[in-house]
Every structure is written in structure tokens, then in C-alpha cells.
Structure 1
Amino acid sequence: MTVSETPSETPSSGTPPDTVQAPPATGSADRRYPVDRWVFGVAAVLVVAFIVWGALSTDTLSAVASAVLAGIMNAGGWAFVLAASGFVVFALWLAFSRYGKIPLGRDGEQPEFRTVSWVAMMFSAGMGIGLMFYGVSEPLAHFTSPPPGTVAAGTPQALDVAMATTLFHWTLHPWAIYAVVGLAIAYSTFRKGRRQLISSAFAPLLGERRSEGAFGRAIDILAIFATLFGSAASLGLGTLQIGGGLEANGLPPLGDLLLVSIIAVLTIAFVCSAVTGIAKGIQWLSNINMVLAGVLALAVFVGGPTVLILNLIPTAIGDYFGNLSAMAARTAATGGDATAEWLASWTVFYWAWWISWTPFVGMFIARISRGRTIKQFVTGVILIPSLVSLIWFAVFGGAAINLQRSGTDLASQPTEAQLFGLLHTLPLGGVLGILAMVLIAIFFVSGADAAAVVMGTLSQRGSITPSRWVVVFWGVVMGAIAIIMLLVGDEGEALTGIQNITIIMAAPFAVVMVVLCVALARDLRHDPLMLRDQRSVAAVEQAVDYGRKAYGDRFVVAVKPHPGEPGNGSEPAGGTNGSPTART
């Protein structure tokens, strides 16, 4: 990634002042900065303290987490719901307002990646452990136990609600959340030439110096925490599902010991990847994952209820938009304690999970989007992954619900084992189960590697290639956090522990994101392209006003070289009377 320490809008000799120049070829982000002792030190101490607390007194941590979660849900559950919808409105407003034409780079710069490559990488970002874990379980859960106060379980109406609710959690809202942070980073880095840090995007509000001071460091620490716990949540889900797959293939239940062992093995695999330099193959691993995911989805589509899945796609789209307003407005006020508990397990957990992933995903999509306009960026980031999610949940959710309606009680199986329960009903189910576990394992390793690099970047003042020991440190800590999150669930319910801690750790960063929207809006308002447009409109209005006063309705506005430019005479702009030239 190329970033200049000098703001990219600074004009060079002979360049109009409103023309944004490209950052130099060797910018600040290409250099490796030393570790920021405050950001890394404070974050590392707090995280290690959390790990020690969880290891020595898991019950106490679990009790505190439950109490804090209850307080957040009672006092701030509405804020998560409102903020998520606010990010959707803000992202769409940016795309379709006058700001939509602003490029994420210099004026006239072409996109760094071809559209096909950009779409492929966006597809990669839209896939992950979450889709593997919830592809079967979420539509099935909403079908057998719909949201409180909606429809009866197991009915045709429940199928509609199940798909609409699932798409609500996986399409427009989450990717709008990602788009806001990704856009702020891309604009700050490629348009303004700042370092690739979350705090750098706050320069319009804080100033360049303050954004690099104590407040800026606090923002980066919060970003590290959000990334750490959001990534650990994904690793925890992947571990639960691999454990469910092993037990579905005949391994006796081993409880927490099995989960800890899986995390330990995969964390070692990640550390080896980082130390030996295999991390450079993350893109290669991601491509393999896309192929394997496509094969798995095709196998379920062909071997499952193909016609039902095809019919489900347009039906799900209609149900989603038909119920969007009601789903976006659902809070504890609409259903009391039952709805509050449901929201904590589903909607609010998802919004917190997406918010916690925004530093990681935001940096990724920002990195591949240089040269795109804001409109291209927002529409691509929201629509492409949403389409992937639609197809994925139609295939796996439709097959699972069809199996449930045919008499196989798939919903009674543990959440992490439901995917394998579905696969085992298909031809070559055992092979497909192994394929799914390999897919999850690769997601684990590549995801941990990439997230650790992002935390290393935040720890080293925006260095794109942080020191290897920093990356390894955050990767090991991530595995430890995932273990702690699995162990703090109520009565051994590991999924509950993951959800509780994710919501708690994402709450502060949600506030950061709201302020980030204000900073981005202020940055865009002072963009050279916007200033040039404002001056152009003002000049035309001034010329028309002068023409009407001098000549009535019989005049035209003539365009000619600026009289103050060298070689065009010394007459001041606007003529001797200070007004634009108007010719009858």
C-alpha cells in the first residue's frame, strides 16, 4: 500500500490547487515503523490481564460478563439497533449524494484492480467461519423458534420469517457497517495520504497532531480490542464446529478438553505460518477456500431440494424487504424480556460482531479499492457480499428446513453439529463432512493470520508489514482469548460465552464508529473536488446575476482564460468592475 506523509492534495508546481495528486511511490505506509509502546503496551497488558483472570477464575469472569451484558442490553441495546440502521442510511447517502463521485485516490486515477479481480476479492471477504457455522443453524433456528411475537413455529409463514431474519443479519446492515469504516480508511489513506490507522481518519475533528496523540492512541487501542475479540469469536465458532464435526464422525464427546485441543493445534499452525513466511500465501489459501466453499454449496444444491432452493431465492428477497422496517425497529420495548433475550442472542450479537470486525475487514476492502469512486465502493461492498450470503443461506438453510419438515429432527442436534447432520443425509456425506472441516480449518488459520497482521499494523503506527514477533504475539493471544470465551459460557454453553463477551467488547468501538462518520462527513465536505464544484456553481450564479442586471434576459456567459494568469494581462479576475464577463 502506498501512502504519503504529505497530504495528497498539496499541489505541485504548475498543478491547479484543486487537483489531488497521487501519493509518492514510496510513502509512509511502505516503511516499517517502530512499535508504538503506548498502543502495544497498554493493549497487551490489558489483554494478558484478561487471559489471566479467565484462566484463574473462569466463574468470576463469567458472572461479571453476564452482569455487564445485562446492563448493556437494558441501557444500550437500542443503541446497537439504531446505530446499525444509521450506518446503512449514512453509507447509502454517501453513495448517492454529490460525494459519490469523489475518487479514493487522485483525480482521474484508475482503479488499482480490475473489476473482476475486485469482485473476486470482495467475494472472498464475504465468506468466513460465520457462514459455515450459521448457514444451516440460523434459518433452522428461526423456523423452529421464530422471533417472539411473530408467527407460529414450523408453519409456512415461519419459513418466510426465518429467511427474512437471516438475510437481515447477513446482508445490507453488516456490509454497510464494514463500508463505513473501509471508506473512512480508504479516503484517509489514498485521498489524504495519511497513515493506515483508524485514528488517522479522525484528523478532520482532532487535527493531525492530536490524531497521533493520546486520543488517537486510545482509538487504536479500542480498534485492537475490537479486532481481537471479534476474531476470537470467529475462531471460537470454528472450533465449536470442528469439534461437532469430529463427534459427528464418531469421536466420543470430550467437552472442553476437545475444544481447547483444537484451538491449540490450529494456533500452532498459524504461528508456524507466520514464522516460516507462509503468511504470504493467505491469498492462495483464500482462493482454495472459495473453490472448496463453491464445491460444498454445489453438492448441497444438487443433492438437496434443488427446486425449493431456486424458489426460495426470490421469495427470500421479497420477505426481506417486506419485513425490513419491522426487523430494524425491533427492541426490548416491543416484546419485553423475551425479545431482549432473543436480541442478545441474535441481532445485537450480530451487530456487535460486525462492529468488532470492522478494523480488519475495513482495512482489507480499503486496500483493494484504490481508484474506485465512493459510489462504486459502497454499492460494491454492500451488494456483492450480500448476494453471496443470499445464495449461501438459500442453499444451506433451504436444505435444512426441508429436512426438518420431512421428519428428520435436525434442530434437536447441537448447533455446531447441524451442518454435519445435513451433510450426512446427502450422497458422500462423510466426504463432504471432512471437506467442511478442512474448509473451517483453513478459514481459522488464514483469518487469524490476517487479523493478527491488522493488529500488528495498529501496534506499529500504520506499518503494512509489522514485525513478525508482533504478529505472532497477537495470534497467540487471539487463540488464548478464544479459549477463555469458550469456557465462560453459562453451564458449559460455550456459544453463550462467545456472544456475551463479543457484545461487551464491541460496545466502546460502536461509539468510535459514530464519531468516525462525523469525521468522514467533514473530510468529504472539504474535499478539493467538492470545493471546486462549489466555486463553479458560485461563479455561474454570479455571472448570471450580473448578466441579468446589465443586459436583462438577452445575454450569454462566455468562458475565457483567467485574466490574472501569466500571459493573459494583469486585469484582475472578474474584469474592471469586479463582475464576471457577460456577452450579449
Structure 2
Amino acid sequence: MLQSLHDKMGLRTSPTIFFGSILFAAVFIALTLAFPTTMSTTFSKGSGWIIANLGWFYILGVTVFLIYLVVTALSRFGRIRLSPHDEPPEHSFLTWFAMLFAAGIGTILMFWGVAEPVNHFANPPMADVEGSSVEAAREAMSFTLYHFGLHTWTIFALPSLAFAYFIYQRNLPPRVSSLFHPLLGDEGIHGPVGKAIDIIAIVGTLFGVAVSIALGTLQINAGLSAVLGIDQTTWSIIAILGVVTLLALGSVIAGLEKGIKVLSNANILAAVVLMLFVLVSGPTLHLLRGTIEGAGLYAQNLPYLAFWNDAFDDNPGWQDGWTIFYWAWTITWSPFVGIFIARISQGRTIREFVFGVLAAPVSFSIIWYGIFGFASFDIIRNGENGGELVEAVAGENGDAATALFEFLAHFPLTTFMSVFSIVIVAIFFVTSMDSASLVMDSMARGHDEDERVPVYQRAVWALLVGIIAAVLLTASPDAGITALSEFITIVGLPFFVMGYLMMWALNRAMREDAGELLPLATKQWRKVLPPEEVERRRDEGDEAWATTEVEYDPHYSTSDGQVIAAPETAAYERHDLIEPDEPHPADQVVGSSRLNGSTDGKDI
């Protein structure tokens, strides 16, 4: 039935994963709208139990992931190049940084750049210092950078590295199930277990991005209210989401090079202009000194905060509503960011990949929060009507969505810069929806060859994200967003479990593949496609060879022109070096292990 519907719609994907993900999302939305109180109560109890009993597991998990990444990058495995045949990186460092930043937490920086430091400044997390004091400012910066520094990017970097390795080194499909190939095997990743993993990953991405889009919509609406006096209404929310979704659809149709890449470069430049405006217009010397001091505070307090569990608070503590939710929320859409970063990172070594993904965005985050955070502190402590900023953001009726615009009211060119900020937020959300759509479609279909895929198939995901955000914000805003947030906290649990399995699988694969010779040589693997895609190509008369099982490519060319051959044994215990003009041993192989090959290994 699903296959018949799939074919009638002209799709080119996995029917089970595609329709299963959409059905799961539709059922959740329908139940939330039909029974908001029941759903809210159910997810509240579930998330409450997880936070109370397993919050420590979330805190420990991200720290363990960070340690694993650093150790792996510094080990001999750090020399492995994440590309099939030692190709150089596809994108320059600046373009690479702009794309991964815009698709990662660019939206979060715009939303929380002022709101987070002000909240912690007014209400210190550890409740051990007086609010709005110098000590509170130091604590606020430490926690803000903890939340949006190394730990957040670790949640993105671990699946990104695993995706890059299994996609480019082992030629497996760009799906979460592929990361568990050493555990599940060929049949497992294509079977019910693998499909269930992929459906959970896509659903988590849908809901995680929907929360971001919903928050961004509220921030854009707050900006329009400050500039044009447009109040938040059902129609204003629908209009904002409609415009953002249409722009995302246009970017999806344009593709990676003309869509996401162009928008990302423009957006990061615009964000830098906004940051420099605050730096120059504000107390410049104080902000520069504060940014440097903030980096020192972060480095000083990170070892303690990385393991802090609010253990001396007998009641549910501050951390439950902040750190644990952040980690659970972030990890649910880490598959989307992970595959996207892997896709734009082909050709980089593991060491370059890990330190690039961790160091570059974190450095920018330190500067961003240093400037916006210390500028906020200065307004509150020394500016006129500084208390209004605290009241608007962290007061009894405070709203984080208004924080940036309340902040800009204390600077020159308020109206212009507010409009400029609205545009930045909108483009950040367009790139997030665009890249999420691209990745969810890749996960559903199981391959990256976009030219074979109808454009409207990719557009479905951007449209669905926009619809979910609109329904949650307009039909039942309080129950909907609350239920979704609590749902994500619950979904985050299996993602953390998968994170530990991911480390084991990646380490197992690298140990299996890595040789002992220098430069470090790694085995090469034939391209793997989902079974339905292989059958589809055979029906189309495509002679290109493809497999549903991981099979070792018996020879391949290295970057220095040498041809490396491995004996046709199960253990693959050694590599033989063959001169390029000598007959290749693999040419003598007959049977299924030698199909459509060539002596340079590039036609396979």
C-alpha cells in the first residue's frame, strides 16, 4: 500500500521511513490539538521523572562525548581524511564555518544573546550571590558560555564525525541507522530496527526545528511590535511563518550551492555587522575587556560546571529547567545538524574536523556573548532605565523574545537596527529550515544524489516544519509548546543512549579500518544504497553498480598515485603496495567481489 502511494506521488525515497515519520508527526499534532490537557499531563509526568532521576545522565553524557572527541582527534585516528579517495575539502574554511554556524546555533545566539545573560544576572543559577551584582555577572557569563560553548557543539560534533566517517569512509547511506552498522550489520540497518532509528531521528528533527522556528517567530513578532506596533495575533504569527516558509522553500529549490551557501555567507556577515555595531556604539573598551575576562571565566569554571548536578538542592533545582532541557532539545536535532555538517565537511581530516567544529563556532560564541552580555550588564548597572531591561526579560511578566529589541532601545539608530535584526533572525531561520529539509530528505531516501530526486519531495519537509510550528503557536500555544518541550525532553533520552553506542561503533570501525603504515592508510568500501533504491535503479536500466551490503573495495588510489591492494581475506590483516603500471591482483578476482571495477579504483 505504501509503495503504491509512493509511486503514484512520483517520490524517490523509502516509503516506510517517509510516511512513517509524517504519520508519527501528524498523530502527535492531532492528539495535542484534540486532548491538550491530557497530552500536557502525560508528557509533564514523563519529562518530570526523567529530569528527577536521569538528569545526571544528560549532564554526564555531553561531558563524556566532549572528552571522547578530543582524545580521538589527538590520537593516530586524527590523521584519517574523511573522503573516499583522499580528496581535498570542497569548501574553504570561511565558507565551511559560515554554513555550519548558520545551520547550527546562529538562531539561538540571536534569541538568547541578551536574554540568557540578563536572566542569569538577575537570578543567579546557584543562588549563592546577590542578583545584579558583579559576582552575579561573572556567574551569568560562566553559565551562558557553558550552555552555548563546547558542550553544545559537542552534541553536534559527535554525530557529525560519525556521519562523515560512515558516509565517506564506508560509503553507507546518510542515515542515523548507518552509524550503528558495526552493531546491527547489513540486514539490521536496512531492517525494522534501522528504519525505526531513522524515523525517530527524523521526528526528533521535525520537532526540534519546529521549536526553534516557533521561538524565532515570537522574536520576529516582538521586533515588529517594537518597530511597527504589530501585536502578537494568530494572523501575525501565520503571516510571519508563511513568509519564512516560502523563503525556505525557495532556498530548497535553489539547492545547496545557490541556496544555503549564499544565505549562510550573507547571514554570518550581517550578524558580524550587528555585533560590531554594539561594540562600537557601546562602551567599547569595557566590552573588549569583558569579553576577554568572560573567556577566562569560562575556562576557569568549565571543569566544575561540566559535572555540576545541583546535588545539594533537595528540590528540583534551577538546572532542570535550563541545562537539562538545553541538552535534550539540542540532541534531538543533532542528527540534522550532524548530517549537514558531515555533508559540507568532506575532505577534512578527523583532527581538523573536530577542532574546527568545536573551536571556530565556540570562539565566535565567546565573542558574541562577551559583547552582548557585558553590554547588557553595563545598561543595567550604569544606564538610564536599566531596570526596564531586567523587568522586560527576567521580570514576573518577562519575555525572552523581546530581549534583543529592548536591548537595542538603549543604542542609537534603534529602529533601523531593530529592522536589521529582524532580517537576520528571519534569514537564520530560513537557513535552518532549508538545511533541515535537505537533511531529512537525505535520511528518508538514503543517498545524497539530489539530481535523482524531485524538488517537491525535499520541499515537503520545509512545509511540514512550518505547519507544525504554526499549529503549535496558534491552535493551543500554551499546551502545545509545553507538550512539545516535554516531549523533546523524553525523546532526548534514547538519543543520549545512541550517543554512547555511536562512540563505540565509531571507535570499532576506525580500529577495523586503520592500517599501521604511515601515512595512515584506511580501507575503502563500495557505495552502499538502500535496497529500494538499488531495485529502483535496476528497473531504470542503470548499469552503475551498487550494493546493499558493506563490501570492501579491493584496491584504490592514494593521493600520491600509489595503488593499495588488500588481500581477499576476511581479516584484511595487511596492505600490499603495487606500482601503478603493474597488473593489479584484484583483476584476477572473479565472482561477486569484483564487479565493474578498474585498476585505479575510481570507477567502482
Into which bin does the TM-score normalised by the smaller protein fall? 0.7 to 0.9
One of 329, 335, 343 as aligned partner of 2:313: 335
- How many angstroms does 1:258 deviate by? 3.6
Q: How far is 1:232 from its partner?
A: 0.9
The 5-angstrom pairing of residues 56-455 of structure 1 reads 56-106=34-84, 108-255=86-233, 258-271=236-249, 273-274=251-252, 280-339=258-317, 342-406=318-382, 407-409=385-387, 410-413=389-392, 414-455=399-440
Give distance in 2, aligned partners of 1:284 and 1:197: 26
Deviation at 1:502, TM superposition (A): 3.0
After superposition, the Cα gap between the structure-2 partners of 1:292 and 1:534, relative to the gap in structure 1 and judged at 3 Å, is closer
SS of the residue corresponding to residue 249 of structure 1 reads helix
> Using the alignment, how far apart are the partners of 1:432 and 1:312 within structure 2?
23
- Specify whether residues 55 and 126 from structure 1 end up closer, same or farther in structure 2 by C-alpha distance, changes over 3 A only: closer
2:456 maps to which residue?
469
Q: 1:192 to 1:534 in 2, by over 3 A?
A: closer
Structure 1 residue runs of 5 or longer lacking an equivalent are 1-31, 536-560, 568-584
Deviation at 1:312, TM superposition (A): 1.2
- Which amino acid in the other structure matches residue 157 of structure 2? A
- Superposed CA offset, 1:51-85 (max 9, x none): 11222333333222322221221222111111111
Q: Distance in 2 between matches of 1:522 and 1:368?
A: 24
Task: Tell me by how many angstroms 1:250 deviates.
Answer: 4.3
Partner of 1:529: 515
CA contact (8 A) 2:217 2:240 kept: yes
- Equivalenced residue count is 505
- Residue number in structure 1 paired with 2:548: none
| TM-fit CA distance, 1:297 | 0.9
* Aligned equivalent of 1:520, options 498, 506, 521: 506
- Kept in 1, the 8 Å contact 2:39–2:483? The answer is no
**Letter matched to residue 429 of structure 1:** T
Q: Report the alpha carbon displacement of residue 471 of structure 1 after superposing the two structures with TM.
A: 2.3
- Any idea what SS the aligned residue of 1:104 has? coil
Q: Structure 1 residues 344 and 479 mapped into 2: Cα distance closer, same or farther (>3 Å)?
A: farther
- In 2, the alpha carbon distance for the partners of 1:494 and 1:152 equals 35
| Separation in 2, partners of 1:267, 1:372 | 33
What amino acid is the match of 2:391?
S
CA contact (8 A) 1:87 1:176 kept: yes
Distance 1:528 1:278 in 2: 32
Q: Matched residue of 1:529: which SS? A: coil
Task: Say yes or no: does 1:38 pair with 2:16.
Answer: yes
Residue pair 1:95, 1:374 contacting (<8 A) in 2 also: yes
> Could you tell me which amino acid in structure 1 is paired with residue 181 of structure 2?
A
How far 1:235 moved relative to its partner? 0.4
**Counterpart Cα distance in 2 of 1:509 and 1:236:** 22
Look up the equivalent residue of 1:517 and give its one-letter code.
M
* Larger mean Cα displacement after TM superposition, 415-424 or 496-505: 496-505
Change (3 A) 1:109 1:457: closer
Match of 1:578 in 2: none
Distance change in 2, residues 1:447/1:123 (3 Å):
closer
Greater CA deviation, 241-250 or 98-107? 98-107
> C-alpha separation between the residues in 2 aligned to 1:68 and 1:48?
21
**For the residues of structure 2 that align with 1:269 and 1:56, how far apart are their CA atoms?**
31
Helix, strand or coil for the counterpart of 1:103?
coil
Distance across 2 between alignment mates of 1:128 and 1:66: 29
Write the letter of the residue equivalent to 2:508: R
Listed one character per residue, the Cα deviations across residues 310-367 of structure 1 (whole Å, up to 9, x for unaligned) are 011221122112222321222253323241xx22321112112221221121112212
Secondary structure of the residue aligned to 2:386 is coil
For residues 440-499 of structure 1, the C-alpha deviation after alignment (integer angstroms, 9 at most, x for no partner) is 111222221220121111111234424333323222221232235446989x49875664
**Residues 120, 267 of structure 1: alpha-carbon distance in 2 compared, 3 angstrom cutoff:** closer
Corresponding letter in the other structure for 1:468? V
Q: Is the 8 A contact 1:126 1:385 kept in 2?
A: no
Note the residue ranges of structure 2 that are not aligned, 5 or more in a row: 1-9, 393-398, 522-575, 583-604
Tell me the CA shift for residue 261 of structure 1.
4.0
CA distance in 1, matches of 2:198, 2:437: 14
In structure 1, C-alpha distance between the alignment counterparts of 2:171 and 2:518, rounded to whole Å: 20
Paired residue type of 2:304: A
| C-alpha distance in 2 between matches for 1:494 and 1:143 | 29
User: Closer, same or farther in 2 for the Cα pair 1:183/1:274, shift >3 Å?
Assistant: closer
| Structure 1 match to 2:543 | none
Per the TM alignment, residue 380 of structure 1 is displaced from its structure 2 partner at its CA by 0.7
Q: How far apart, in 2, do the equivalents of 1:404 and 1:416 lie?
A: 18
Larger Rg: 1
Structure 2 distance, partners of 1:534, 1:120, is 30
Structure 1 counterpart SS, 2:333: helix
Moved more, 367-376 or 246-255: 246-255
Hey, what's the Cα distance between the residues in 1 that align with 2:476 and 2:292?
A: 38
Structure 1: how far apart are the matches of 2:518 and 2:218?
Answer: 55
- Partner Cα distance (2:307, 2:348) in 1: 33
The CA distance in 2 between the partners of 1:418 and 1:356, in whole Å, is 26
Give the CA deviation at 1:391. Answer: 0.8
Q: Please say if residues 61 and 488 of structure 1, whose CA atoms lie closer than 8 Å, have aligned partners that are also in contact.
A: no
CA deviations over 1:402-459 (Å, ceiling 9, x no partner): 1111241202112111100111211101000001111111122222122012111111
In the TM superposition, residue 252 of structure 1 has moved relative to its aligned partner by 4.9
**Residues 530, 240 of structure 1: alpha-carbon distance in 2 compared, 3 angstrom cutoff:** farther
Percent identity over the alignment is 36
Which sits farther off after the overlay, 215-224 or 368-377? 368-377
1-structure distance, mates of 2:380, 2:192? 55
Give yes or no for the alignment of 1:478 onto 2:478: no
* Aligned residues of 1:126 and 1:388 also touching (Cα < 8 A): no
Distance 1:89 1:487, change over 3 A: farther
Amino acid at match of 2:436: A
The change in CA–CA distance for 1:457 and 1:107 in structure 2 (over 3 A counts) is closer
- 1:522, distance to aligned residue in structure 2 (A): 0.4
Q: Do 1:62 and 1:489's aligned partners in 2 also have CA atoms closer than 8 Å? A: no
CA gap of 1:265–1:336, structure 2 versus 1, over 3 A, is farther
Partner of 2:489: 503
Q: Deviations for 1:199-250, whole angstroms, at most 9, x for unmatched residues?
A: 1121111112221211111111111012111111110110110111122224
Superposition TM-score, scaled by structure 1 size: 0.80
Of stretches 62-71 and 377-386 in structure 1, the one that deviates more from structure 2 is 62-71
